[in-house]
């Protein structure tokens, strides 16, 4: 049995198989998931697991080069936005580099999810709680 890090085999596998600039979406329970990317549904019930819990777990395994969020998240995300930005800052510090965050419209964000390697659906029920994380390199 694996002792540390991600215990979810689908999440662990997709991160281990990602190459430089591949995208991974972490999303709330309501984001439409397009055909194409692998769907990893970890939602159990509303709020379980939370967006922050999943982002923290992913950030411990994935070298993140940059991220994209919907611009609407900052004001429509019911106060979750500052916590997400702080967690990204913390993950970046642990990885030795800042994680730049690009803001796009929510409509554009949804279109961009179609090119992701996988989409991890959380139990989060906060509007716009969605990120596309792009894989970096460790060297």
Going by the annotation, the residues of the binding site for substrate are 28, 106, 128-130
DSSP class of 95: H
Q: Which of 13, 48, 47 is nearest to 118 (CA)?
A: 13
Question: Is residue 81 helix, strand or coil?
Answer: helix
From the centroid of its chain, how far is CA 10? Answer: 14
Residue 75 catalytic? no
Determine how many CB atoms are found less than 10 A away from the CB of residue 43: 18
- 16, 20, 82, 90: the catalytic one is 20
- Binding residues, as ranges, are 28, 106, 128-130
Contact at 8 Å (CB) between 61 and 69? no
User: Which residue numbers are catalytic?
Assistant: 20
């Amino acid at each position: 049995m694996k002792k540390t890090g991600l215990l979810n085999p689908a999440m662990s596998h997709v991160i281990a198989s990602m190459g430089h600039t591949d995208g991974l979406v972490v999303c709330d329970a309501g984001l439409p998931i397009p055909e194409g990317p692998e769907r990893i549904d970890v939602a159990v019930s509303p709020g379980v697991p939370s967006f922050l819990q999943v982002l923290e777990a992913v950030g411990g395994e994935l070298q993140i080069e940059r991220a994209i969020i919907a611009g609407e998240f900052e004001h429509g995300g019911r106060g979750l936005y500052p916590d997400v930005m702080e967690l990204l800052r913390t993950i970046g510090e642990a990885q030795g580099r800042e994680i730049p965050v690009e803001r796009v419209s929510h409509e554009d964000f949804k279109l961009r999810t179609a090119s992701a390697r996988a989409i991890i659906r959380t139990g989060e029920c906060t509007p716009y709680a969605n990120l596309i994380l792009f894989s970096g390199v460790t060297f």
